[in-house]
Amino acid sequence: MGAKANIVVDQGSDFSTTITVRDNSGAVVNLTNYIGAAQIRKHYTSTTATSMNVVFETPRENGQVSLKLTRMQTKALGEGRYVYDVEVTDSANTRSRLVEGIVTVTPQVTRSNEST
């Protein structure tokens, strides 16, 4: 596993992207009994992080994981470049990095409804 993928997040908008997890031979990985975690940080050593919601799509045998941020989370991110990664842990407590890369946050212009 351990792919590299850069993503673009629009500040102030809901964000979602789906990853299909494949092993080294290209076969889809059955994600039954896995848990996941994902974070965005300004740089690798930053002590401040924004956690992404990691959702295992059903059926888990299809190997799909969605990463989600609410519009309030993306609004709180300043425009610019960040780093992120996504890790999963199986039932034997083995942790693997699925994907990592750069997050580019594009600035929000429209602010007509600030509270939602």
Q: What is the pLDDT of residues 10-28, one digit of tens each?
A: 999 999 999 999 888 999 9
The answer to whether residue 9 is domain-embedded is: yes
pLDDT band at residue 114 using 50, 70 and 90 as cut-offs = low
Residue 53 lies in a domain: yes
Residue 111 lies in a domain: no
**Residue 106 pLDDT > 80:** yes
* CA–CA separation, 83 and 76 (whole Å): 16
- Range(s) of the domain holding residue 50: 3-106
Q: Which CATH number characterizes residue 47's domain?
A: 2.60.40.10
Taking the mean position of all CA atoms in its chain, how far away is CA 101?
10
Tens of pLDDT, residue by residue over 16-72, are 999 999 888 999 999 999 999 999 999 999 999 999 999 999 999 999 999 999 999
> How many separate domains does the chain show?
1
CB 39: neighbour CB atoms within 10 A?
Answer: 16
Note the maximum CA span of the chain.
49
